[in-house]
Structure 1
């Protein structure tokens, strides 16, 4: 089925939709803050809790492994109980995890609650983009879903700035890191109490047979005629799928669904293999290795956070005007180019030249800007768009699980690889992975811009085997 929906004209419903997006993306803000706060909290945390280097790596990385589990479990819970319900649950987990970390008397307790925080981070990364994509009109889906990525990078940047401010005020206290972590409880409260007044995903409601409730939600965030037309389209697809939907692992036996899941996994893994989180986690260390003084590296590293925000701002402005595939190919071309320039600068410029660290900084910042303006938000957007309705959260959970595992590989492997090989070979490896990503995208990634979620699903199913969910034609 393919329909021409009435235009989504501005009105009071537009403001309601904007409020929904703001509240839901507090989950992204928490995602960003909780992954970025350790950057400044780590040194006082190590001193206060007597952490060795091995323990330090364990405490930092356990959040990433928790996020992998949270993405997988969160996707299943979201399909079963609803997107809104899952976000409310995640807000409570964020609160428990944050307070547990703040009050931790020892590093094992801290590690336990860092894992709990990871569950919430992973669950949010799998649920919030799906919720936004399902409640958004297709014309605005790109910019609204991308707001979550804006909040993620804003949360990371806020963590860098808040850490610096708190350290200047209370830096002499051994427990200063606890104040840094405590800040995260505020957006967790905002997420929980805000979502109490937000609607459920209309597409999830249709999947549960609650058509009247779904129409009521659409009437809050669409014009009346658009709501009626859109509910008819979603109902049509839901009726097609109703006979044999399992929403789980057995659906991966359907060729076209398995193909989409593999595309999603590839997107998630290649996004992380750009090395973006090696910069977010270890940017100060990288700049020190490049030739900056310790103090200079800390200041210079804030540019990575700033240009993350600037990049995503540019991305959101053009997201609905350029095809997804075009932006992805351009993004990986740019990041691969800047990887090469970082590597060549580290390899060819003499260490005695005072401009060398600044040259590397410029190319790293341009890499971060290019990544966050294209690949970063586009991967999350595509993951929220490409899967069939009834297994959308489950499939996103599987893909985000793989994304987080790739994140963990980069996070754990970057410091020893740089130490063993140096900056230049490390960034040449990233460049090679970028070339592989370009081939993958060109050959496998479908275009989704300008189509409703239902139109894309039907077209892709028809083009790749014509077999529906559960194995029927």
Structure 2
């Protein structure tokens, strides 16, 4: 029989999982949990098309335009760090249920906001849910998944994120083209996000808790019951033994606290995680996901044409994520991340050159669109799926919530800075220089990945923890 590696030297190997009724249960858990990713995608993408209409109704300047966009991202930074801690304390499932309620409240608050100030506050609340989901859903999926399928299952969340963004771009185009002359059309774009929040809440009511979280609380019989729902019988028993051993070891070493960062190998690993988070965002991906319509109007299209053309960014994001999910089962994480960084950095420099060299008009707009599509193919097909997967994998069990929360905080603060400054940078230093700046940051990201990021593919979470402890203790 084939086996996966055990986390403990000399321990018996764990049998590979085989197909059965539990496989369907695992797929259902993945679909329901990743509605958190769908909401993440819709709520971050909807501003792209809503902003041109909102600017007129709320009287936004370039600064307040950036503030409305980025207030969600600031909320996401706080939501990420608090969401990680709450998921450690209360459980992954209960945390996702709470986040569904926050998603609903935030979406309705945005849709009904009468002033810029209230819109900023409602977007901040919505961001708390986005940030919490960004760290809780990948951990939940990683801890429920068998090691040999973890890459593909965790990356389903990334697929749902880009699907949510495509849904937002498509909805924006339909509503904008059909009702663009009506007042407050952006409110309808924002209100639609309340529907998946309701589905997420009802769905998670009947989903199980993470078996690894249950084991960390010494609820081993409940952990085994969950493993039997999502594994074959032989695999469930063997996996519980490994999870139980590591949970007891972690408890003996004291469970995840800030003081654990004083341990050199943990501190170094956390710094690598923070670096991976920054690397994903300094490509400037979300300048395209949030301001794609504005970029195309700046290049020479009218608003209705830009809304429609921007759907191409959403389509390529979804298609590229499918490719990324396939590659994660075939290719190591680190080379995939490097290839993505090289592709996005090259695309950024080309967007800068095109914006500088070609005259404003539809021709330039469609060439810029072709380059943003190329950029997103590398970003969503390689960088984004690897980022969230590696962040869900590299932290030790006792520090998984805290470590992922810190990485999520760093990611969202970087995202916030990109979202806040992009319209101001375009106004002050031109769009071409702005993309040259992102390209320079991309070169720094390539050097960081090449030197510091470890490989995580093909190990159980427990085996990976043992390996990384040895690597970063040297």
Provide the rounded CA distance (Å) in 1 between the counterparts of 2:197 and 2:312.
27
Is 1:368 aligned with 2:376? Answer: yes
**Does structure 2 retain, via aligned residues, the 8 Å contact 1:133–1:385?**
yes
Is 1:309 aligned with 2:345? Answer: no
Provide the rounded CA distance (Å) in 1 between the counterparts of 2:372 and 2:416.
21
- Which residue in 2 is equivalent to 1:289? 298
- Which residue in 2 is equivalent to 1:214? 223
Provide the rounded CA distance (Å) in 2 between the counterparts of 1:59 and 1:44.
13
- Which residue in 2 is equivalent to 1:34? 43
**Does structure 1 retain, via aligned residues, the 8 Å contact 2:88–2:401?**
yes
Question: Against the structure 1 CA distance between its residues 345 and 55, is the aligned structure 2 distance closer, same or farther, given a 3 Å change threshold?
Answer: closer
CA RMSD of aligned residues (A): 1.8
> Unaligned 5+ residue runs, structure 2?
1-7
Provide the rounded CA distance (Å) in 2 between the counterparts of 1:428 and 1:332.
15
- Which residue in 1 is equivalent to 2:406? 398
Which of 431, 438, 446 is the equivalent residue of 1:423? 431
Provide the rounded CA distance (Å) in 1 between the counterparts of 2:57 and 2:428.
30
**Does structure 1 retain, via aligned residues, the 8 Å contact 2:68–2:123?**
yes
What's the offset of the Cα at 1:415? 2.0
- Is the partner of 2:252 in helix, strand or coil? coil
What's the offset of the Cα at 1:195? 0.4
Which of 389, 401, 404 is the equivalent residue of 1:381? 389
Which of 226, 235, 246 is the equivalent residue of 2:235? 226
Provide the rounded CA distance (Å) in 1 between the counterparts of 2:187 and 2:432.
37
What's the offset of the Cα at 1:48? 3.7
Question: Against the structure 1 CA distance between its residues 290 and 178, is the aligned structure 2 distance closer, same or farther, given a 3 Å change threshold?
Answer: closer
**Does structure 1 retain, via aligned residues, the 8 Å contact 2:87–2:136?**
yes
Provide the rounded CA distance (Å) in 1 between the counterparts of 2:364 and 2:202.
50
Provide the rounded CA distance (Å) in 2 between the counterparts of 1:74 and 1:439.
31
Provide the rounded CA distance (Å) in 1 between the counterparts of 2:30 and 2:413.
28
**Structure 1 residue runs of 4+, over 6 Å off?**
none
**Does structure 1 retain, via aligned residues, the 8 Å contact 2:352–2:433?**
yes
- Is the partner of 1:374 in helix, strand or coil? helix
- Which residue in 2 is equivalent to 1:459? 467
**Does structure 1 retain, via aligned residues, the 8 Å contact 2:173–2:304?**
no
Provide the rounded CA distance (Å) in 2 between the counterparts of 1:430 and 1:310.
24
Question: Against the structure 1 CA distance between its residues 354 and 96, is the aligned structure 2 distance closer, same or farther, given a 3 Å change threshold?
Answer: closer
Moved more, 161-170 or 7-16: 161-170
Which of 54, 59, 73 is the equivalent residue of 2:82? 73
- Which residue in 2 is equivalent to 1:270? 279
Provide the rounded CA distance (Å) in 1 between the counterparts of 2:468 and 2:309.
46
What's the offset of the Cα at 1:362? 1.5
What's the offset of the Cα at 1:10? 0.9
- Which residue in 1 is equivalent to 2:253? 244
What's the offset of the Cα at 1:60? 2.1
Provide the rounded CA distance (Å) in 2 between the counterparts of 1:215 and 1:309.
35
- Which residue in 2 is equivalent to 1:147? 156
- Cα deviation code 1:80-129 (max 9, x no counterpart): 01000100000011111122223333332222221111100110001000
* TM-score (norm. length: structure 1): 0.94
What's the offset of the Cα at 1:27? 0.3
**Does structure 2 retain, via aligned residues, the 8 Å contact 1:27–1:91?**
yes
The residue correspondences of 1:161-240 to structure 2 (distance < 5 A) are: 161-240=170-249
**Does structure 1 retain, via aligned residues, the 8 Å contact 2:95–2:136?**
yes
What's the offset of the Cα at 1:352? 7.8
Is 1:4 aligned with 2:13? Answer: yes
- Is the partner of 2:14 in helix, strand or coil? coil
Aligned length: 465
Is 1:138 aligned with 2:142? Answer: no
Which of 414, 418, 421 is the equivalent residue of 1:413? 421
Question: Against the structure 1 CA distance between its residues 345 and 169, is the aligned structure 2 distance closer, same or farther, given a 3 Å change threshold?
Answer: closer
**Does structure 1 retain, via aligned residues, the 8 Å contact 2:85–2:401?**
yes
**Does structure 2 retain, via aligned residues, the 8 Å contact 1:47–1:174?**
no
**Does structure 2 retain, via aligned residues, the 8 Å contact 1:336–1:435?**
yes
* TM-score (norm. length: structure 2): 0.94
Is 1:89 aligned with 2:98? Answer: yes
What's the offset of the Cα at 1:353? 9.1
Moved more, 437-446 or 187-196: 437-446
- Which residue in 2 is equivalent to 1:470? none
What's the offset of the Cα at 1:250? 0.9
- Which residue in 2 is equivalent to 1:120? 129
Question: Against the structure 1 CA distance between its residues 423 and 103, is the aligned structure 2 distance closer, same or farther, given a 3 Å change threshold?
Answer: closer
Moved more, 18-27 or 307-316: 307-316
Provide the rounded CA distance (Å) in 2 between the counterparts of 1:253 and 1:100.
41
Question: Against the structure 1 CA distance between its residues 331 and 353, is the aligned structure 2 distance closer, same or farther, given a 3 Å change threshold?
Answer: same
Provide the rounded CA distance (Å) in 1 between the counterparts of 2:144 and 2:434.
41
Provide the rounded CA distance (Å) in 2 between the counterparts of 1:409 and 1:219.
44
What's the offset of the Cα at 1:260? 1.3
> Unaligned 5+ residue runs, structure 1?
467-473
Provide the rounded CA distance (Å) in 2 between the counterparts of 1:44 and 1:289.
16
Which of 346, 359, 364 is the equivalent residue of 1:351? 359
What's the offset of the Cα at 1:151? 0.7
**Does structure 1 retain, via aligned residues, the 8 Å contact 2:69–2:290?**
no
What's the offset of the Cα at 1:413? 1.8
